[in-house]
């Protein structure tokens, strides 16, 4: 940009405000006809002339005075925004607490095993001194389950579990093999409803009673 070009460009504001003499305005107007850049600048400046014309120059030195209630309005605005943030935190906290409680319930449900079937302890009235055993019964719709945990059963010997009806007839529940001093755990089943069973016996195949209980 040449010095002459710069001088003309600096006069665009004065031209828009009508502050140039005719002798000063004519060269600048001629320049605008051939300079696209200055013409674009003038197009942006010219609309401002109308707005600047409405400015009261006599009041330019007056110190602006804020509204008398500005302080109160600012304090009220801050308090309102603070309450809004507090409510938002409470809502988020409540939502998080509810989500945590729901997750805890789900976790407890998942980790808590379902209750097992009701077991009825068996009190043996006759028991071989060499045998230590505990047993439980579980009543099912299809029959009765006999759960035995014990030790002292002769290793390699077969033992027979039998339920007895009220009429004295026997219903076999199954057999197991002794393992000596080691613990034996077995679950046997009989096709006999619990209410129809009045006794249970554990015996050898030869008929020697090892465990016996009245139910």
Condensed to tens digits (0 to 9), the pLDDT of residues 138-151 reads: 999 999 999 999 99
Higher pLDDT, 57 or 3: 3
**Cβ–Cβ under 8 Å, residues 48 and 55:** no
Condensed to tens digits (0 to 9), the pLDDT of residues 73-117 reads: 767 777 788 787 777 777 776 777 766 666 665 555 556 666 778
DSSP state letter for 153: B
DSSP 31-70: HHHH-HHHHHHHHHHHHHHHHHHT--GGGTTSPP---TTH
Share of the chain above pLDDT 70, in %: 80
| pLDDT (average), residues 122-136 | 91
- Provide the pLDDT for residue 95: 72
Q: Which residues contact 139 (CB under 8 A, 6 or more apart)?
A: 118, 120, 145, 193, 194, 195
The fold for domain 3-59 equals Arc Repressor Mutant, subunit A (1.10.10)
- Provide the pLDDT for residue 173: 97
- Provide the pLDDT for residue 60: 57
The fold for domain 120-214 equals Immunoglobulin-like (2.60.40)
- Provide the pLDDT for residue 58: 62
Say if residue 57's pLDDT is above 60.
Answer: no
Cα angle 158, 166, 184; round to 5: 25
**Cβ–Cβ under 8 Å, residues 214 and 197:** no
Q: Which of 24-28, 138-142, 147-151, 203-207 has the lowest mean pLDDT?
A: 24-28
Q: Which residues contact 60 (CB under 8 A, 6 or more apart)?
A: none
Say if residue 27's pLDDT is above 80.
Answer: yes
Share of the chain above pLDDT 90, in %: 43
- Provide the pLDDT for residue 168: 95
- Residue 129 binned pLDDT confidence (cut-offs 50, 70, 90): confident
Main-chain phi, psi angles of 64, to 5 degrees = -65, 140
Higher pLDDT, 122 or 130: 122
The pair of three-digit structure tokens given for residue 110, joined into one six-digit string: 């998942």
């Amino acid at each position: 940009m040449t010095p002459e070009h710069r001088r003309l460009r600096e006069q665009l504001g004065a031209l828009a405000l009508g502050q140039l003499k005719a002798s000063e305005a004519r060269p600048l107007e001629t320049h605008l006809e051939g300079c696209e850049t200055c013409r674009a600048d003038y197009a942006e400046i010219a609309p401002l002339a109308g707005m600047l014309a409405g400015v009261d120059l006599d009041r330019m030195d007056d110190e602006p005075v804020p509204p008398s209630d500005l302080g109160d309005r600012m304090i009220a605005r801050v308090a309102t925004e603070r309450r809004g943030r507090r409510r938002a935190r409470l809502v988020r906290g409540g939502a998080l607490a509810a989500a945590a409680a729901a997750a805890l319930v789900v976790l407890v449900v998942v980790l808590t095993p379902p209750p097992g079937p009701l077991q009825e302890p068996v009190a043996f009235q006759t028991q071989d001194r060499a045998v230590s055993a505990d047993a439980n019964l579980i009543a099912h719709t299809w029959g009765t389950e006999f759960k035995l945990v014990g030790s002292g059963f002769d290793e390699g010997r077969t033992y027979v579990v039998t339920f007895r009806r009220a009429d004295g007839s026997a219903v076999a529940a199954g057999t197991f093999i002794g393992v000596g001093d080691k613990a034996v755990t077995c679950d046997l089943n009989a096709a006999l409803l619990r209410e129809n069973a009045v006794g249970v016996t554990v015996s050898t195949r030869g008929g020697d009673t090892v465990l016996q209980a009245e139910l």
